[in-house]
């Protein structure tokens, strides 16, 4: 199975001579519907929540700083409103499209959300499974299950579950073979969006990563089938709303049998009139299925709370005004301390809440192209997010790198200058020639330990490497809003030329996602409309 993962990864790489297999052109007549609906079932509306000034972005990132809100219809509405809802509509020459608070490659949104909960006043009087519809900000009833099953779970009071799934066709329509990667970037964005939404409510999250793929299919009502528009379950997140600590239930799976034989309501809408076959995506998805009830041991992290600087920027303002930059202005600069804050927010030891659903040690590091940061020289830098990888990274990378600590860098931040030079053209060149990677303040490649974690955990760990990348991207998006600039994810890059820059010669490390941050150039031709 690992060989199939490695083969997909190799065949989905872009290089300077040829892109990974793709559609070649966009068949607009078959463009997927961006909204999944379950036709024929009842939809329960959630509340549209006004943006609040509190908590601030920095407050929400510090554990135990925000007082836990009670679980009710209002706080449940807030959870989805701040993680998976629409943020705006855009309009141009009679065409209108929606933006969401959780970003997506090409704004295609392959990620779907589900709620599993017990009776909740104002919503439902029996345990139920819902599909979340972001277009209406409502919950579509999929099924009810017994109180016996709910009580058998022995949950802390106020526990609910959010499930996430992917519809690969939504991405494959535009990106072809490489789309599986982008689906899991987006899954990571959504995971971090849920983590941060919960942190703003004083809630905590726990990834039910001991469940198998079949368990998730059963609980979310997404049976395996051969279908080009198949929806594949990815994860289930326990949300603890009362401040109680995780208990032994969160490692059990015997409750799953209570979801067998249920009657599921609603028929999923057809997304496209016609389709192209990208069988390689189905193969890698099958290879990455989790078939055993195993998961990484929960790690204990040292917390450097002193590294997060206070700000007065409202968390929910950052969430709902987040936009992806389409171009950078080639002139905006940021202060060195602001740059360090971007990096600090990506470190689980310094900023754990966005990454609280990841029970494994960090596998992803940041290779940075610094262009316009005051009091820092232009050049190639590297942020080590897991100190346990430090020696291996130094052995793997080019031996002439300096590995020197930049001026003013906090002691606890493992940031290093590798080479000092103007790397703007190089950053753009390896990002498929996209100028946006060289025109901002800095850009980066997310360079992950690769072959080793796949061998240690198994092929099911492959998408989780992309989840970690997507979570980092979500934090960068929000920090950019707080800093008065913009950012955007870059999925198109030349894989092996990036590896050559750092001296990577094998599969020990691979670059999985790129990002750029800077002063945006706004398109004034577009009209912005409210989300609801």
Which domains does the chain carry?
Answer: 35-258 (3.40.109.10), 323-518 (3.40.109.10)
Q: Give CA–CA dist 26/106, Å, rounded.
A: 12
Predicted local confidence at residue 179, as pLDDT: 97
DSSP 159: E
- Per-residue pLDDT tens over the stretch 83-106: 999 999 999 888 899 999 999 999
What are the tokens at 429? Answer: 């060149």
In 129-178, which ranges are continuous DSSP H helix?
A: 147-152, 168-175
pLDDT in tens, 223-242: 877 788 999 999 999 999 98
Is the separation of the CB atoms in 180 and 285 below 8 Å? yes
Q: Is the pLDDT of residue 75 over 80?
A: yes
With contact defined as beta carbons under 8 Å apart, do 383 and 365 qualify? yes
pLDDT of res. 168: 97
Q: How many separate helices (H) and strands (E) can be counted in the chain? A: 15, 18
- Residue 500's SS3 state is helix
Laid out side by side, the sheet with 486-490 consists of 415-420, 379-383, 364-370, 442-449, 509-518, 486-490
Query: Residue 249: pLDDT above 80?
Result: no
- pLDDT at position 130: 98
Question: What's the CA dihedral at 524, 527, 528, 532 to 10 degrees?
Answer: -170
Residue 52: DSSP 8-state: -
* Section 104-124 average pLDDT: 96
Q: Which of 314, 300, 23, 16 is nearest to 177 (CA)?
A: 23
Q: Please determine, for residue 254, whether its predicted confidence score (pLDDT) is greater than 90.
A: no
Between helix 73-81 and helix 179-200 the angle, nearest 10°, is 140
pLDDT tens per residue, range 447-504: 999 999 999 999 999 999 999 999 999 999 999 999 999 999 999 999 999 999 999 9
Confidence (pTM): 0.97
Q: For residue 205, how many other CB atoms are within 10 A of its CB?
A: 19
> pLDDT-derived band of residue 152, with 50, 70 and 90 as boundaries?
confident
Task: Report the mean per-residue pLDDT for the chain.
Answer: 94
Specify whether the CB–CB gap between 26 and 221 falls below 8 A.
no
**pLDDT confidence of residue 295:** 64
Q: Scanning the structure block, which residue is given the tokens 């606890």?
A: 412
Mean pLDDT for 36-46 is 97
Work out the pLDDT band at 301, boundaries 50, 70, 90: low
Distance CA 370, CA 376 (A): 8
31-64: burial string, b at 16+ Cβ within 10 Å, e else: ebebebbbeebebeebeebeeeeebbbbbbbbee
Buried-state track 115-146, b at ≥16 Cβ within 10 A, e below 16 = bbbbebeebbeebbbbbbbbbbbbbbbbbebe
- The C-alpha torsion from 504 through 509 and 515 to 518, rounded to 10°, is -50
d(CA 163, CA 52): 26
- Do the Cβ atoms of 75 and 241 come closer than 8 Å? yes
């Amino acid at each position: 199975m690992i060989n199939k993962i490695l083969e997909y990864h190799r065949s989905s790489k872009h290089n300077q001579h040829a892109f990974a297999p793709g559609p070649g052109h966009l068949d607009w007549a078959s463009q997927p519907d961006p909204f999944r609906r379950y036709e024929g079932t009842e939809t329960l509306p959630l509340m549209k929540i006004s943006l609040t000034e509190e908590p601030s972005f920095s407050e929400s990132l510090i554990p135990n700083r925000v007082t836990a809100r009670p679980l009710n219809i209002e706080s449940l509405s807030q959870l989805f409103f701040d993680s998976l809802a629409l943020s705006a509509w855009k309009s141009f020459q009679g065409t209108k499209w929606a933006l969401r608070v959780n970003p997506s490659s090409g704004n295609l949104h392959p990620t779907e959300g589900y709620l599993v909960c017990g009776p909740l006043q104002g919503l439902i009087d029996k345990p139920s499974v819902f599909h979340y519809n972001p277009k209406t900000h409502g919950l579509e009833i999929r099924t009810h299950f017994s109180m016996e099953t709910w009580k058998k779970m022995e949950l802390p009071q106020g526990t609910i579950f959010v499930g996430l799934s992917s519809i690969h066709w939504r991405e494959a329509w535009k990106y072809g073979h490489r789309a599986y990667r982008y689906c899991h970037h987006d899954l990571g964005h959504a995971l971090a969006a849920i983590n941060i939404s919960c942190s703003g409510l004083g809630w905590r999250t726990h990834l039910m990563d001991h469940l198998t793929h079949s368990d998730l299919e059963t609980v979310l009502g997404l049976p395996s089938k051969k279908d080009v528009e198949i929806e594949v379950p990815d994860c289930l997140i326990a949300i603890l709303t009362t401040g109680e600590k995780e208990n032994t239930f969160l490692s059990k799976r015997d409750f799953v049998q209570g979801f067998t034989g249920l009657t599921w309501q609603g028929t999923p809408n057809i997304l496209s009139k016609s389709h192209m076959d990208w069988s390689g995506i189905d193969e890698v998805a099958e290879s990455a299925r989790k078939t055993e009830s195993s998961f990484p041991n929960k790690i204990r992290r040292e917390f450097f709370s002193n590294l997060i600087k206070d700000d007065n920027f409202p968390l929910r303002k950052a969430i709902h005004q987040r936009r992806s930059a389409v171009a950078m202005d080639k002139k905006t600069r940021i202060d060195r301390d602001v740059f360090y804050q971007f990096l600090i927010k990506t470190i689980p030891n310094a900023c754990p809440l966005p990454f609280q659903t990841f029970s494994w040690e960090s596998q992803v590091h940041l290779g940075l192209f610094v262009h316009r940061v005051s009091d820092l020289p232009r050049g190639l830098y590297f942020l080590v997010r897991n100190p346990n990888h430090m020696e291996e990274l130094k052995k793997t990378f080019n031996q002439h790198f300096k590995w020197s600590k930049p001026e003013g860098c906090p002691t606890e931040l493992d940031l290093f200058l590798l080479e000092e030079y103007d790397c703007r053209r190089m950053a753009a060149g390896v990002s498929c020639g996209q100028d946006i990677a060289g025109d901002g303040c800095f850009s980066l490649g997310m360079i992950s330990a690769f072959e080793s974690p796949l061998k240690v955990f198994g092929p099911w760990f492959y998408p989780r490497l992309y989840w970690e990348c997507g979570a980092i991207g979500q934090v960068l998006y929000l920090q950019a809003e707080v800093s008065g600039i913009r950012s955007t994810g870059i999925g198109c890059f030349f894989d092996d030329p990036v590896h050559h820059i750092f001296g990577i010669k094998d599969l020990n490390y691979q670059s999985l996602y790129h990002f750029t941050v800077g002063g945006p150039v706004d398109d004034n031709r577009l009209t912005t409309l409210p989300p609801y």
